[in-house]
């Protein structure tokens, strides 16, 4: 053996040349083991190549004397005028009806209906003139030559129909499809099969439809009835309502009308579609746990009706797309919404081994009283037409549907095309393959009966075709296979409407109340434009929350109860129900955006002032007018406090960056998103080899919002119970700083409502050097000084306040002058962005005025400190009239965070959650949702930060350069 | 037709009961169309059920008068003593060698080698006594009864071997495997096939091995040679080296030694494995673009050697796991590292239609001088053993391998098990199925020739088996199919070693230089412990960068050049080469961690001091000793500056959060990670239906690091060129603030080296009220005051400084007292965490001392301001000796950010990149890498922040409460 060898790729067709060693011609055969042409052992007069090309054979007129395959054969020439016998090992003379042909070296064939004989039945040699011979004998009565041509046999097929004849020959007028009928045939003109547009000639139909019809009708031949039915199925059940023999299905229906029905297969449902699909005889209780299967069974038949047994449909029997078995079988796991599609080179469909043409009768297996039953399942052929062009089966009105029983997956045999017109067939392949392009199984839960029972599932098939020419040019087909589930959602709709109606009404009422509370705080008694605008924003906020609760509630309900159901009672929302839910979800987000915008706008326009309690220390000599020139009080403590306030404006109660990372971690990396598939499988870790059902937007929303809120809750717990106590509480630190800096913060959230942080130093001074600061702090640690509270001997430093109208008027009056000047636009005397003299003066006036007010030193304007009543706290309002006298209410220590992001965490969190979910809804990707959410949150914070800084600079007169 | 019907599921076996309408017994047959049992048309004496159960047949003694299938038949009783004829439609008497059996109503069978005759060859009826009859005739000489039993035919098979005999009977001693040999047989004892442990009896082997051996050896029968060869393949090529007829393969080898080799298939390579695999005759130029295919071809044979043609291996011919065609065929796209595995219920292997037992000869098709050639490709059977137990084929020494040619995928026919021992077969199924469990195709690039040529690819097969009992108990099998590529990496190794060696050496030298520069700045002249420690950290930093450059360079080179190559010249690193690369990558990260830790530690221990230039204003009366009591200078500006410094400590030049989100966005969402697959396909968007090659860690590293660095670069451009100019520059803002607060910052990064921010107010004072501040700012805007620089009329506010030793000593002396006190531990007189009197005093001393120094007011300690020379800038050192006199070097405006994260962006960025990549290397998930990177970065920043705050509080004596 030569190793590492290569050789030219040859096929048996390449072995036609003859070799000439030693001047003789030798034929070549194809050695199948060496993949090479090899020479026969004897020259061309002795040996030729076999018809398959894989071995040598003896030429006519030569008999074998050795035959071990390949070239290991030996031929011996027959005597003159003798031919090789049929078994190849002898030579015979040609006698009695045949003669020796000297050209071909064979006996000439026997005449028609004559049989060549070399041996009798018992193997005795026929001899003639002393030598072994081949003779011809005429077939006897009632016999004809068999297929092999070596014996006459009874022509049973003909005699069956024509028992009276003795000859096996048939009058051509009685012949149809190879069957000899006793009477003259009236020819039918059916020879085509339908395409999705137009039709194709079929040699098979032309040949068999007449015989099948007559055999079935007149002789009740079961095979013939099967063939006729299958031809009707192949013509997509199309029939004319007018009686007549114009279509195969008409023939079927004619027989059905005449005959007892037992002999002909059941093809059409005679009931209307809705009646068929309303049936409640399927008693299977479908459950998710343990997982039920949709137990489809098919009775399988070949084209001529040979029964191939009853099979389950698993293993891809009805799926043209190939895939792993487990993924294919996932289609029949009850409750798995299934979608499969792929692209297949169309030419593969012509492979009749892979795509066998079979006919299927569809059943569902179920158990009743302990016995296995078969339920006949309906099939809807979308290509079915009655009276050409009536396409009711494609419509949605189930009453007009014509349902049927039998179907095929691929017809790659009978659509042979137009080569029956007499021209030579250009190809032995069919000109068209017709196949089930789209299959959809639709399962509807019978909610009225409960117990996981279903109506008869409907399989809808749409056929299409592909032509040989296109396929050979590389066309591909994209068959689809879908399984979907539905249920009546009437009960759901009622609940949904009640929930939305009730909660929205309550929400609007609540928003009205909030507006009333607001207008009281804002000092507006009439319902003016501002009140209406505020009402709109309050409604936005409240309805957004309501819608969020409803949509999340629905999504979560469906998510949990769909996945956890044992006996099936729930499928997913679909169609308009789903769209309504989606609309509500979108509204929730849009309204939440409005609310956040309102919140940011409000916070960016809040009135805030830092009251400096510091008194001037010492003097700097005497002024020209004789008064003492006071040592100016340093503004740096105010700068410091303002700077810190600026920094905590966009602080959140939770770490929103970590929040996003954690959520994406759980959803994407840990794989919680895998639970959102439309199947009963709620596992987090799914094998990549298994079928992955499409994910449901509602489920994704449910799991995403749940994870978002849970992570936020855990963060909130961590920050509230742990971090802020033991590490850092920026809000508390700010109050501390105020105390140390001898600065109070006076915030008017609405015109006559606000928050007060009492930061008066327990020393009365803070503007001092490090040594004194150190001593002061030491004393406070040792409790040697008073407490920080506004009231003596209290710790309460923060208050909610309702302010008398007069105070507000005074405040506005002072600021108005400044505002007017600002409004006058850039002037020569005014620096861009800088402070004016007037503003500084206004600052001093307000500082004086407010500190006097806090000190109770204004007779006409006073306030009183009290606790809020429980009812006031619950209703978030104040009952006492503050028109003459203000009220300071003790609070929880950080009521002023209402002006910061910190105190509005709930609103922001819901905004983040909705944003995250809505991005995922659109992009179906939690990573992208996280990224977009991060960016939007940062932009909102940036706007708040920027607006807040401008506002702070404007209201407290601290230059922006110190707000870094 | 009853519609919506269901009925009991019955099979033909359920139709055994007889019905009794009208008192008569009727057999039932299974109606294949209705799936029901139906009654035959005549009672049990007339009709019985056919053997397939699907129709009725006439009982013996009854002839047919009608037969249209199903129950549509009619039987007529024959006259007494007559039997039904063979064609079924007549009755015959039994004569001449047969008699009528009244029990069975049939003629008794003819004697051995006798043929029953009812019609002669030409269909003439045999009559006897005037009635149609069935007679027996003895077969003539040289004939025996044919398989159908209706004719005597020449016993060619026997006569071929024994041409002299005239009888077709054979002496049992000459009989083997149904073949009659001319001589007496010496029986062989081979009857088993090997299993992965033990062996299994095979009826087929036992029956055929002897005949095949003799026929092949003595008569050169090609079919016999094929069978013998296939049996040798089925016994996994196992043979004993000792001559003898103990194994099938020994028989094969005996014949091979005797015979001319042309007649017996080539199974074994006689050359050693390494010689076979070294061959360079495959001249195909494999390219990625256009994509080459690995053009495997197989010659297909059945068990008995019938040639089935030559086929490509696409469509899963060699892959037991089913999948879509495109995914299956991806295995043969050149350059695609392929791995496929799945779990198959073992029982499916017994399906001989799906898993056909075929034998394959492996070839590679290639083109040479325009002609298609076949190259014989080697196969390595891992189960091959010579002399039982020698498993060299499993080893790695290719010289010891015995390579072979032919293989099979599944043997589900011949491993019939032990039912040949005489006991009744419990099952017709084979007891074992043996299958190719693991197939691995290994392609090696021939780097010496170039031009994309390869050595002969090696297919390695490991067989395993599964028993019928296990399969029926639900066992599954997990076959694997792999394709891998390799090349000689000698050239690469040289380059790798040179790069690592050279660059590392340079790196160590550079680190040594940095240590020298450091020790000068730290004022250490000897090589002490600190210098060594610093050297280690410098080496870490430099080597980390070197390793990063090398690993990234290699990864990027392989990534780009692998994906972009047209003619293939590159495959991936593997084995120890890959591990070395991985080690370098790990080292880069570990060293970078050291560097970052060092950086954080250095920054957290830097000496920093805020110099307050403010002079006391006015007095607060007279002290007891008569001196004026000075109005204390407010510390709040220092607090403010320290607070801001604290805030910018962990500021980064780029937004590191956005960085992570952007990187994850590009890698995960946009899909850059899809390019990192081990195949030629470098597309970002890949169809989910296509095969996804496993991703390569090196490629992932290349694309991840690239994206990380590019995004960072874009961010850096944005922040440097745009954001910091037009929006916010925190570092610049801090310098501004210092100027306005009249505070200078004095930072000693090393003992005698540091940075100085000159913040002396142009007014000489800042501790004033809003009005004055406002006026001062206005004046500055109008350029009415001097400039801010340290030198008059300059703007230069920031400096790098080298300090005289004396200054450092003084500084340490003052702080030492404080440090000693702190070290004394908690005492009664010292408050926890508070400042001591001594510390405040030290603060005042240092403030005074440093401000005097800056003012050039110390005679013995002075400094000079100058520019750094270009060389000094490049070499990052100072040439001038600062032991007596300090030097202040003008800088770029933010040299002090070396003490902040801001100035070390490159180090941090590389740290982030390496961290991101190493997490991905472990977890193979960019989302998780992003999350972990975020968390680690935050932790590092937290440590830096915390440590920096403590340090700031300690060094500047600003209470931590003000550093919020």
| Chain A partners within 8 Å of B770 (Cβ) | 635, 638, 835, 840, 843, 957
Per-residue pLDDT band at A842 (split at 50, 70, 90)? confident
> ∠ at Cα A746 (A743, A751), nearest 5°?
170
Judged by average pLDDT, the poorest of A444-448, A501-505, B715-719 is A444-448
Question: Residue B536 CB: number of other CB atoms within 10 A?
Answer: 14
User: In chain A, which residue's Cα lies nearest the Cα of B831?
Assistant: A778
Per-residue pLDDT band at A791 (split at 50, 70, 90)? confident
Does A960 touch chain B if contact means CB atoms closer than 8 Å?
A: no
DSSP string, B456-516: PPEEEEEEEEEEHHHHHTT-EE--EEEEEEE---HHHHHHHHHHHHHHHHHHHHHHHHHHH
Residues of chain B short of pLDDT 50, as ranges, are 1, 420-425, 825-832
Does B222 touch chain A if contact means CB atoms closer than 8 Å?
A: yes
Does B122 touch chain A if contact means CB atoms closer than 8 Å?
A: yes
Pick from B367, B661, B946 the residue to mutate for testing the A interface (most A CBs within 10 Å): B661
Q: What share of chain A is helix, strand, coil (3-state, %, to 5)?
A: 40, 20, 40
User: In chain A, which residue's Cα lies nearest the Cα of B741?
Assistant: A636
| Chain A partners within 8 Å of B72 (Cβ) | 219-222, 263
> Following CA atoms B867, B869, B873, B876 in sequence, which dihedral angle do they give, to the nearest 10 degrees?
-100
Say yes or no for a CB contact (<8 Å) between A121 and B143.
Answer: no
Q: Residue B408: its pLDDT value, please?
A: 95
Say yes or no for a CB contact (<8 Å) between A72 and B222.
Answer: yes
CA distances from B60 to B43, B64, B94 (A): 14, 10, 14
| Chain A partners within 8 Å of B70 (Cβ) | 222, 263
Q: Residue B426: its pLDDT value, please?
A: 54
Overall residue count recorded for chain B in this entry? 964
For residue A756, pLDDT over 90 is answered with: yes
Does A156 touch chain B if contact means CB atoms closer than 8 Å?
A: yes
Alpha helices in B649-794 (DSSP H): 656-664, 697-717, 724-726, 730-741, 770-781
**Cα radius of gyration (chain B):** 48
Distance (Å, whole) CA A704 – CA A589: 15
Q: Residue B828: its pLDDT value, please?
A: 41
Does A280 touch chain B if contact means CB atoms closer than 8 Å?
A: no
Cα B290 to chain centroid distance, Å, stands at 25
Say yes or no for a CB contact (<8 Å) between B835 and A774.
Answer: yes
User: In chain A, which residue's Cα lies nearest the Cα of B669?
Assistant: A928
- The DSSP 8-state label assigned to residue B11 in this structure reads -
| Chain B partners within 8 Å of A66 (Cβ) | 160
Report the pLDDT averaged over residues A355-367: 92
ipTM of the complex: 0.88
User: In chain A, which residue's Cα lies nearest the Cα of B298?
Assistant: A35
List the beta strands (DSSP E) in A13-146.
28-31, 36-39, 47-49, 56-58, 62-67, 73-77, 83-84, 91-94, 100-101, 106-107, 114-117, 127-128, 131-138, 143-145
Nearest CA distance, A136 vs chain B (angstrom): 9
| Chain B partners within 8 Å of A617 (Cβ) | 618, 620, 631
Nearest CA distance, A618 vs chain B (angstrom): 5
Pick from B2, B3, B8, B165 the residue to mutate for testing the A interface (most A CBs within 10 Å): B3
Per-residue pLDDT band at A361 (split at 50, 70, 90)? very high
**pLDDT tens per residue across span A373-424:** 899 999 999 999 887 677 788 988 889 899 999 999 999 988 887 654 444 4
| Chain A partners within 8 Å of B623 (Cβ) | none
Q: Residue A1: its pLDDT value, please?
A: 45
Q: Residue A421: its pLDDT value, please?
A: 46
Distance (Å, whole) CA A702 – CA B398: 59
Does B118 touch chain A if contact means CB atoms closer than 8 Å?
A: no
Of B7, B156, B636, the CB nearest to A634: B636
Residues within 8 A of B (CB atoms), A 882-911 only: none
For residue A689, pLDDT over 80 is answered with: no
Does A5 touch chain B if contact means CB atoms closer than 8 Å?
A: yes
| Chain A partners within 8 Å of B844 (Cβ) | 770-771
Nearest CA distance, A266 vs chain B (angstrom): 7
Does A305 touch chain B if contact means CB atoms closer than 8 Å?
A: yes
CA-wise closest residue to A304 among A376, A211, A381, A219: A211
| Chain A partners within 8 Å of B741 (Cβ) | 636
Which residues are registered as beta bridge partners of A287?
A: A567
Say yes or no for a CB contact (<8 Å) between A964 and B769.
Answer: no
Say yes or no for a CB contact (<8 Å) between A835 and B767.
Answer: no
Q: Residue A4: its pLDDT value, please?
A: 54
Q: Residue A765: its pLDDT value, please?
A: 83
User: In chain B, which residue's Cα lies nearest the Cα of A404?
Assistant: B3
| Chain A partners within 8 Å of B657 (Cβ) | 657, 934
**Contact call for residues A834 and B777 (beta carbons, < 8 A):** yes
Please provide the distance, in angstroms rounded to a whole number, between the alpha carbons at the two ends of chain A: 88
Q: Residue B425: its pLDDT value, please?
A: 47
Please provide the distance, in angstroms rounded to a whole number, between the alpha carbons at the two ends of chain B: 88
Distance (Å, whole) CA A954 – CA A839: 10
**pLDDT tens per residue across span A584-625:** 999 999 999 999 999 999 999 999 999 998 888 777 667 677
Nearest CA distance, B930 vs chain A (angstrom): 8
Distance (Å, whole) CA B703 – CA B697: 10
CA-wise closest residue to A915 among A885, A939, A944, A891: A939
Say yes or no for a CB contact (<8 Å) between A140 and B122.
Answer: yes
Does A375 touch chain B if contact means CB atoms closer than 8 Å?
A: yes
Say yes or no for a CB contact (<8 Å) between B636 and A640.
Answer: yes
Say yes or no for a CB contact (<8 Å) between A927 and B773.
Answer: no
Say yes or no for a CB contact (<8 Å) between A325 and B322.
Answer: yes
Report the pLDDT averaged over residues A205-224: 88
Structural tokens at position B249: 């393969």
Nearest CA distance, A596 vs chain B (angstrom): 23
Distance (Å, whole) CA B243 – CA A722: 84
| Chain B partners within 8 Å of A15 (Cβ) | none
Cα B766 to chain centroid distance, Å, stands at 66
Q: Residue A409: its pLDDT value, please?
A: 95
User: Between helices A575-603 and A697-717, what is the axis angle to 10°?
Assistant: 30
**Cα radius of gyration (chain A):** 48
CA distances from A11 to A42, A57, A713, B147 (A): 22, 19, 75, 35
Q: Residue A237: its pLDDT value, please?
A: 92
Report the pLDDT averaged over residues A316-330: 88
Report the pLDDT averaged over residues A536-545: 95
Count of A-B CB contacts under 8 Å: 422
Distance (Å, whole) CA A483 – CA A438: 11
SS3 B80: coil
Say yes or no for a CB contact (<8 Å) between B935 and A661.
Answer: yes
Of A262, A374, A935, the CB nearest to B9: A374
**pLDDT tens per residue across span B355-394:** 999 999 999 999 888 888 899 999 999 999 887 677 788 8
Structural tokens at position A142: 């009632």
Say yes or no for a CB contact (<8 Å) between B67 and A633.
Answer: no
């Amino acid at each position: 053996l030569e190793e590492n060898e290569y050789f030219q790729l040859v096929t048996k067709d390449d072995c036609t040349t003859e070799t000439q060693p030693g001047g003789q011609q030798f034929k070549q055969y194809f050695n199948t083991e060496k993949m090479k042409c090899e020479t026969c052992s004897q020259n061309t007069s002795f040996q030729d190549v076999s018809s398959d090309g894989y071995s040598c054979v003896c030429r006519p007129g030569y008999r074998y004397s050795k035959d071990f395959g390949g070239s290991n054969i030996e031929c011996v020439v027959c005597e003159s005028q003798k031919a090789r016998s049929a078994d190849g090992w002898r030579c015979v003379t040609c006698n009695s009806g045949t003669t020796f042909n000297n050209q071909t070296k064979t006996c000439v064939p026997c005449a028609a209906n004559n049989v060549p004989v070399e041996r009798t039945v018992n193997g005795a040699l026929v001899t003639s003139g002393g030598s072994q011979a081949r003779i011809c004998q005429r077939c006897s009565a009632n016999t004809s030559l068999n297929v092999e041509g070596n014996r006459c046999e009874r022509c049973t097929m003909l005699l069956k129909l024509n028992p009276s004849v003795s000859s096996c020959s048939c009058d051509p007028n009685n012949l149809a499809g190879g069957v000899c009928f006793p009477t003259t045939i009236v020819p039918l003109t059916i020879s085509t099969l339908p395409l999705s547009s137009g039709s194709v000639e079929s040699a098979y139909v032309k040949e068999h439809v007449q015989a099948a019809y007559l055999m079935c009708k007149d002789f009740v031949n079961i095979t013939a009835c099967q063939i006729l039915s299958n031809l009707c199925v192949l013509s997509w059940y199309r029939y004319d309502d007018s009686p007549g023999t114009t279509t195969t299905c008409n023939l079927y229906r004619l027989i059905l009308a005449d005959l007892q029905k037992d002999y002909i297969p059941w093809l059409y449902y005679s009931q209307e579609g809705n009646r068929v699909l309303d049936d409640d005889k399927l008693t299977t209780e479908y459950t998710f746990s343990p997982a039920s299967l949709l137990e489809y069974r098919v009775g399988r038949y070949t084209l001529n009706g040979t029964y191939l047994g009853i099979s389950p449909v698993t293993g891809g029997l009805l799926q043209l797309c190939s895939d792993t078995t487990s993924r294919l079988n996932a289609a029949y796991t009850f409750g798995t919404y299934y979608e499969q599609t792929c692209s297949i080179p169309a030419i593969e469909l012509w492979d009749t081994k892979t795509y066998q043409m079979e006919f299927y009768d569809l059943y569902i297996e179920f158990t009743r009283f302990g016995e296995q039953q078969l339920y006949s399942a309906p099939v809807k052929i979308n290509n079915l037409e009655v009276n050409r062009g009536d396409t009711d089966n494609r419509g949605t009105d189930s009453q007009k549907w014509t349902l049927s029983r039998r179907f095929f997956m691929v017809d790659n045999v009978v659509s042979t095309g137009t080569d029956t017109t007499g021209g030579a067939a250009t190809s032995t392949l069919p000109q068209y393959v017709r196949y089930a392009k789209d299959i959809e199984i639709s399962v509807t839960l019978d909610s009225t009966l409960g117990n996981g029972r279903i109506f008869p599932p409907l399989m809808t098939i749409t056929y299409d075709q592909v032509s040989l020419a296109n396929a050979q040019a590389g066309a591909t087909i994209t068959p689809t296979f879908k399984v979907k589930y539905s249920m009546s959602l009437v009960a759901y709709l009622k609940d949904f409407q009640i929930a939305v109606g009730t909660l929205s009404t309550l929400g609007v009422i609540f928003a009205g109340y909030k507006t009333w509370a607001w207008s009281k705080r804002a000092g507006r008694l009439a319902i003016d434009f501002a009140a209406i605008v505020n009402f709109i924003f309050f409604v936005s906020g409240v309805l957004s929350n309501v819608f969020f609760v409803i949509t999340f509630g629905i999504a979560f309900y469906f998510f949990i109860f769909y996945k956890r159901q044992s006996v099936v009672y729930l499928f997913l929302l679909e169609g308009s129900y789903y769209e309504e839910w989606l609309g509500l979800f979108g509204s929730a987000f849009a309204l939440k955006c409005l609310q956040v915008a309102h919140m940011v706008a409000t916070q960016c326009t809040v009135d805030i002032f830092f009251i400096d309690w510091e008194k001037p220390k010492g003097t700097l000599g005497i002024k020209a007018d004789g008064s003492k020139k006071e040592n100016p009080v340093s503004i740096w403590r105010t700068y410091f406090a303002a700077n810190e306030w600026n920094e905590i404006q966009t602080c959140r109660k939770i770490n929103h960056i970590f929040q996003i990372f954690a959520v994406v971690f759980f959803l994407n990396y840990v794989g919680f998103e895998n639970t959102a598939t439309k199947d009963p499988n709620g596992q987090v870790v799914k094998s990549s080899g298994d079928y992955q059902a499409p994910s449901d937007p509602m489920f994704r929303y449910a799991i995403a919002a749940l994870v978002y809120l849970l992570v936020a809750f855990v963060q909130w717990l961590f920050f509230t119970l742990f971090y802020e106590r033991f590490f850092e509480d920026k809000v508390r630190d700010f109050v501390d700083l105020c105390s140390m800096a001898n600065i109070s913060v006076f915030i008017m959230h609405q015109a006559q409502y606000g928050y007060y942080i009492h930061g008066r130093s327990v020393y009365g001074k803070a503007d001092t050097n490090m040594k004194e600061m150190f001593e002061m702090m030491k004393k406070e640690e040792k409790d040697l000084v008073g407490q920080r509270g506004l009231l003596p001997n209290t710790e309460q430093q923060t208050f909610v306040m309702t302010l008398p109208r007069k105070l507000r008027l005074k405040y506005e009056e002072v600021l108005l002058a400044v505002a007017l000047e600002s409004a006058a636009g850039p002037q020569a005397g005014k620096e861009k962005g800088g402070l004016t003299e007037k503003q500084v003066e206004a600052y001093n006036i307000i500082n004086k005025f407010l500190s006097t007010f806090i000190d109770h030193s204004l007779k006409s304007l006073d306030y009183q400190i009290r606790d809020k009543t429980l009812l006031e706290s619950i209703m978030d309002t104040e009952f006492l009239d503050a028109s003459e006298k203000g009220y300071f209410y003790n609070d929880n220590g950080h009521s002023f965070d209402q002006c910061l992001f910190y105190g509005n965490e709930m609103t922001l969190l819901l905004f983040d959650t909705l944003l995250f979910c809505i991005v995922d809804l659109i992009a179906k990707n939690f990573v992208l949702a996280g990224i977009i959410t991060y960016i939007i949150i940062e932009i909102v914070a940036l706007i708040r930060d920027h607006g807040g800084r401008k506002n702070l600079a404007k209201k407290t007169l601290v230059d922006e350069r110190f707000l870094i």
